[in-house]
């Protein structure tokens, strides 16, 4: 592939320069993700714990963790009999 | 278990309400038919979680074929079963037990499918050419062709060779992070840290040039 065939579309530029936020490893994201998605599905819709504060930026920056968190949210919503639509809109998009 | 979770358990006992997952933990750590039944239900739950994850990865699923997908679901559920049982003592009851257990199956299934789908694909790493956009598209004019040009230059000049290689593989070439970790003999944490640092460098550089960089986006804002 030569230079002219390697463009930088706007969406790729956005993903390259998205705000990385405070550091949170993928392992810590995995440790916290069950609490995080249930927080999003809860009445207030916002994760209540300070420990979860770095989750939105991580999920916005890591497409693998974001993909898995979305699945977990949908499974948890179905088990709890909750419509996931509102919580899905709050889940950061990688 | 933390002091906080001890306090939470004490509060639940005082109110007479069971902690989330209390029955699962009791049954999985009991003996005989009670445990066997709990193990069977747990495995079914993990199969469901793994199957749901691969069902959402349609592009990768199409690359491996139905038979291999079913093998991946079974393997992921089995590996998740081992992981859940080995980590039962770490479950603090801060979420439903089922949500906590699902995440092991979801992770295993996603990782296994990404690896299988990319098993015969080349990962472009060694000769990534410079990024260029000789003729910006109309939306790039609208949203900032100058920013795009500054970002391209920054990617080549501000990032370290390692940061550039990882950022381009993950973001431009869309190599799954687990696949890239396997090929480079590293792990997901290390690669995400490199990407995190690369983004920080790019944003700092672009902000220094006076450009506003994109904020975090939620699905509610997705177009």
Q: Which residue has the higher pLDDT, A9 or B86?
A: B86
Please determine, for residue B213, whether its predicted confidence score (pLDDT) is greater than 80.
no
Q: How far apart are CA B22 and CA B96, in angstroms?
A: 9
Whether residues B74 and B40 share a domain: the answer is yes
Domain boundary among B117, B146, B173: B117
- A25 and B192 within 8 Å at the Cβ level: the answer is yes
Q: How far apart are CA A28 and CA B210, in angstroms?
A: 34
Let me know if residue B123 belongs to a domain.
no
Q: Which residues on A lie below 8 Å from B73 (Cβ)?
A: none
Stretch B49-75: mean pLDDT: 96
- A70 and B56 within 8 Å at the Cβ level: the answer is yes
Whether residues B153 and B104 share a domain: the answer is no
Whether residues B112 and B53 share a domain: the answer is yes
CA dihedral (A74, A76, A81, A84) positive or negative: negative
Placement of tokens 């920080």 in the chain = B200
- B172 and A18 within 8 Å at the Cβ level: the answer is no
Number of domains in chain B: 2
Q: How far apart are CA B44 and CA A22, in angstroms?
A: 37
Please determine, for residue A77, whether its predicted confidence score (pLDDT) is greater than 50.
yes
Quote the mean pLDDT of chain B. 84
Whether residues B102 and B189 share a domain: the answer is no
Let me know if residue B87 belongs to a domain.
yes
Let me know if residue B146 belongs to a domain.
yes
Half-sphere exposure of A80 (CA within 13 A, CB side): 23
Please give the structure tokens belonging to residue A5. Answer: 């065939």
Half-sphere exposure of B16 (CA within 13 A, CB side): 0
Let me know if residue B161 belongs to a domain.
yes
- B129 and A27 within 8 Å at the Cβ level: the answer is no
Let me know if residue B180 belongs to a domain.
yes
pLDDT of residue A94: 82
Q: Which of A76-80, B8-12, B134-138 has the lowest mean pLDDT?
A: B8-12
Q: Which residue has the higher pLDDT, A11 or B220?
A: A11
Whether residues B160 and B88 share a domain: the answer is no
The string of pLDDT tens digits covering residues B140-150 is 555 567 888 88
Predicted confidence band of residue B212 (pLDDT cuts 50, 70, 90):
confident
Q: Give the Cβ contact number of residue A15 at 10 Å.
A: 22
Let me know if residue B49 belongs to a domain.
yes
Q: Which residues on A lie below 8 Å from B182 (Cβ)?
A: none
Whether residues B69 and B164 share a domain: the answer is no
The string of pLDDT tens digits covering residues A25-55 is 999 999 999 999 999 998 765 556 788 999 9
With contact defined as beta carbons under 8 Å apart, do B33 and B40 qualify?
Answer: no
Smallest CA–CA distance from A17 into chain B, residue:
B199
Give B114's contacts (C-beta < 8 A, 6+ positions apart). A64, B57, B60, B176, B178, B179
With contact defined as beta carbons under 8 Å apart, do B77 and B105 qualify?
Answer: yes
Q: Which ranges in chain B belong to alpha helices (H)?
A: 3-15, 22-28, 32-55, 58-64, 66-86, 97-117, 138-143, 145-157, 161-167, 177-184, 188-208
- 3-state SS, residue B216: coil
- B216 and A18 within 8 Å at the Cβ level: the answer is yes
Containing structural domain, residue B195: 138-221
Let me know if residue B70 belongs to a domain.
yes
Substitution target from B46, B127, B188 for chain A, most A beta carbons within 10 A: B188
Please give the structure tokens belonging to residue B213. Answer: 């960089």
The string of pLDDT tens digits covering residues B149-177 is 888 899 989 999 999 999 999 998 999 99
> Which helix (H) or strand (E) is A73 found in, with range?
helix A63-80
Let me know if residue B59 belongs to a domain.
yes
Q: Which ranges in A24-62 belong to alpha helices (H)?
A: 26-41, 55-61
Stretch B24-30: mean pLDDT: 94
Model-level pTM? Answer: 0.84
Whether residues B91 and B45 share a domain: the answer is yes
Buried b (16+ CB within 10 A) or exposed e, A16-53: bbbbbbeebbbeebbebbbbbbbbbbeeeeebeeeebe
- Residue A59 is classified by DSSP as H
Stretch B17-26: mean pLDDT: 71
pLDDT of residue A93: 79
Q: Which residues on B lie below 8 Å from A89 (Cβ)?
A: 218-220
Which regions of B46-151 does DSSP assign to beta strands (E)? none
Whether residues B105 and B23 share a domain: the answer is yes
pLDDT of residue A6: 59
pLDDT of residue A1: 41
Q: Where are the domains of chain A?
A: 24-90
Nearest CB to A21: which of B139, B216, B218? B216
Q: Can you give the CATH number for the domain in which B164 is found?
A: 1.10.10.10
Nearest CB to A13: which of B53, B130, B151? B151
With contact defined as beta carbons under 8 Å apart, do B45 and B109 qualify?
Answer: no
């Amino acid at each position: 592939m030569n230079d002219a065939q390697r463009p930088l579309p706007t969406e790729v530029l956005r993903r390259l320069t998205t705000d990385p936020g405070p550091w949170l490893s993928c392992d810590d994201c995995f440790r916290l993700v069950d609490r995080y998605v249930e927080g999003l599905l809860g009445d207030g819709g916002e994760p209540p714990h300070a420990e979860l504060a770095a989750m939105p930026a991580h999920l916005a920056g890591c497409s693998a963790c974001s993909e898995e968190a979305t699945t977990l949210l949908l499974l948890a919503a179905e088990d709890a009999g909750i419509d996931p639509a509102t919580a899905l809109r709050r889940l950061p998009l990688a | 278990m933390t002091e906080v979770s001890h306090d939470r358990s004490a509060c639940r006992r005082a109110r007479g309400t069971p902690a989330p997952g209390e029955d699962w933990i009791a049954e999985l750590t009991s003996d005989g038919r009670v445990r066997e039944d709990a193990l069977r239900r747990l495995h079914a739950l993990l199969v469901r979680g793994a199957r749901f994850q691969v069902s959402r990865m349609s592009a990768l699923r199409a690359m491996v074929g139905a038979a291999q997908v079913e093998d991946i679901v079974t393997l992921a559920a089995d590996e998740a079963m081992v992981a859940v049982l080995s980590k039962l003592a770490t479950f603090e009851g801060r979420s439903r037990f089922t949500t906590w257990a699902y995440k092991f199956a979801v992770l295993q299934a996603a990782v296994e499918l990404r690896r299988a789908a990319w098993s015969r694909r080349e990962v472009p790493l060694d000769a990534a050419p410079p990024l260029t956009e000789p003729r910006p598209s109309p939306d790039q004019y609208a949203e900032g062709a100058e920013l795009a040009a500054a970002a391209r230059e920054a990617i080549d000049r501000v990032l370290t060779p390692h940061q550039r290689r990882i950022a381009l593989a993950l973001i431009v070439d869309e190599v799954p992070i687990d696949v890239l970790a396997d090929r480079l003999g590293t792990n997901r944490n290390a690669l995400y840290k490199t990407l995190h640092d690369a983004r920080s460098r790019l944003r700092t550089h672009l902000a220094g040039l006076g450009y506003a960089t994109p904020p975090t986006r939620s699905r509610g804002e997705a177009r």
